[in-house]
Amino acid sequence: MSLADPELDADAIEELFARGVTDGLPVVPPTRERVARTVVASGRAGADLVALVPPNYGRATVEKIAVNAVMAGCRPEYVPVVIAAVEAVCDDAFDLHGVSATTNAPAPLLIVNGPIRRTLDVNCGAGVFGPGWRANATIGRALRLVCVNVGGARPGQISMSTLAHPGRYTYCIGEHEEESPWESLAVEHGFRPGDSTVAVLAADAPLGVYDHRSRRAPDLLLTIAASLAVVSHHKATHCGDTLLVLSPEHARTLAGDGWRKADVRRFLFDRLRRPVRELVPGRDGGEGLPEHVLRKFADPERDDTLVPKFRAPENIKIVVAGGTAGRFSAIVPGWTFPKMSSLTIKPIRVP
C-alpha cells in the first residue's frame, strides 16, 4: 500500500473498523513502512517480547506494539513510552485482568516524568487532561489499542464496564516538574531526576476541586479532603491508590506554609477517618461498611473506632500538573475493588 495514496488509506480505515481493531475513531493504516520506522525508533528487534497482555495474555512484541502505536497516530519516537506503559500495565501489581473485565469504570492513566516530556512535547501544563497535544493523545490511545487488540479487552465482550469514561479513548498527562515545589512522582519512587519514566494508574475520570480563597495550607486541604471523602461513595473505606493532581498555584500555597508531600498525605489521611457508627449501612445512605467488617464490633451503632478512607497515607499519590494560572486541582480516583490495583511505574528506555 502506498503511503501517498489517500484513497487506499481511506479503504484501509474502513476495513480496520470492520475488523473491530479500532476504538471507534479513524486510525492510521499500519503499513509495513510505517510499522518498520516505528520498530527502528524503539531500538529493539520487532520480535522482542515485551509482555503477555491480560486477559487473553496475547504476546505484545515490539512489532505488535508498533502496529497499534501507528494506528493511534504516534510518531515513531513515541514508541519507547508506549512500550514502557505496556510493561507497567502488565505488571501483576496493576492487575490489568481485573481492570479490563470489571463492571467498574477504570482506564489506565499514564503519567510521564523526566526529560522525555520536553523531548516529545508531552503536555504538563494548561489543559493537561484535555486535547491539543499529539503526544498525550496518541500515546494514551496506543496503550488502549494494545489492551484491546493484543489483550482482548473488547468493549461489550470482555470489557464490561457499566459506564466507562472518556479516558478509555486516551488518558495521558505529564507532571509539571518545573512548577513543583517538591520531588517528582518518579523521584519519590526511587528514580533519579534525570530518568524518564511512565507511571500507570487504574483511574476513574478526574473530579475537579475549586478553591480560590484559601491562602493557608490547612484551609486548602480541608476543601480537598471534603472532595476526597466522596470517592467511590461517601462511606467507602480502605481505598487504594488515588491521585491528587495539584495545580501549581495550590502547590505553592501548601509548600509556602512549609508543608511537604508527606505532611499533605498525613493531614488528609487523618481527616478522612470516620467512626464506625457513621458507617453503618442505611444511615445517611444505603452503602456502608460490609457485613464482615461490622461483625468485628460488638455495637457498631455506637462504636467510635475510627476507620480510614484510605488504607495508608501512601495511597494518596501527589503530582503537580496544569497551568500556572488558576486555583484548581483534581482528584483522580483509583480502582480499588475487588482487588487493589496499584500505581506502577517503569523506566522509559530511549535508544
Q: What is the pLDDT along the chain (351 residues), one digit of tens a residue?
A: 444 566 767 799 999 999 999 999 999 999 999 999 999 999 999 999 999 999 999 999 999 999 999 999 999 999 999 999 999 999 999 999 999 999 999 999 999 999 999 999 999 999 999 999 999 999 999 999 999 999 999 999 999 999 999 999 999 999 999 999 999 999 999 999 999 999 999 999 999 999 999 999 999 999 999 999 999 999 999 999 999 999 999 999 999 999 999 999 999 999 999 999 999 998 888 899 998 899 999 999 999 999 999 999 999 999 999 999 999 999 999 997 656 799 999 999 999
CA diameter of the chain: 74
Spatial distance between the Cα atoms of 199 and 189, rounded to a whole number of angstroms: 10
Query: How far apart, in Å, are the Cα atoms of 259 and each of 6, 190, 254, 291?
Result: 56, 21, 6, 38
Look at residue 32 in the predicted model and tell me its pLDDT: 97
Look at residue 284 in the predicted model and tell me its pLDDT: 80
Query: How far apart, in Å, are the Cα atoms of 166 and each of 23, 52, 55, 130?
Result: 11, 25, 21, 11
Spatial distance between the Cα atoms of 159 and 55, rounded to a whole number of angstroms: 10
Q: For the residues of 8-59, what is the DSSP string, one character each?
A: HHHHHHHHHHHTT-S-SS------HHHHHHHHHHHTS-TT-EEEEETTTTEE
330 beta partners: 208, 245
Q: Strand, helix or coil at 310?
A: strand
Amino acid at 345: I
Handedness of CA 273, 275, 281, 284 (dihedral sign): negative
Q: How do strand 344-347 and strand 328-332 relate by DSSP bridges? A: unpaired
Look at residue 167 in the predicted model and tell me its pLDDT: 97
- Exposure letters 235-252 (e unless 16+ CB within 10 A, then b): bbbebbbbbbbbbbbbbb
Spatial distance between the Cα atoms of 114 and 95, rounded to a whole number of angstroms: 25
Spatial distance between the Cα atoms of 48 and 317, rounded to a whole number of angstroms: 33
Look at residue 338 in the predicted model and tell me its pLDDT: 54
Look at residue 281 in the predicted model and tell me its pLDDT: 93
Query: How far apart, in Å, are the Cα atoms of 64 and each of 77, 149, 207, 346?
Result: 16, 9, 34, 20
Q: For the residues of 175-214, what is the DSSP string, one character each?
A: --GGG-SS--HHHHTT--TT--EEEEEEE---EEEE-SS-
Output the nine-digit C-alpha cell for 230.
466522596
Look at residue 339 in the predicted model and tell me its pLDDT: 66
Q: Strand, helix or coil at 130?
A: coil
Q: How do strand 207-210 and strand 172-174 relate by DSSP bridges? A: unpaired
| Residue in this structure with the C-alpha cell 468493549, named with its chain if needed | 155
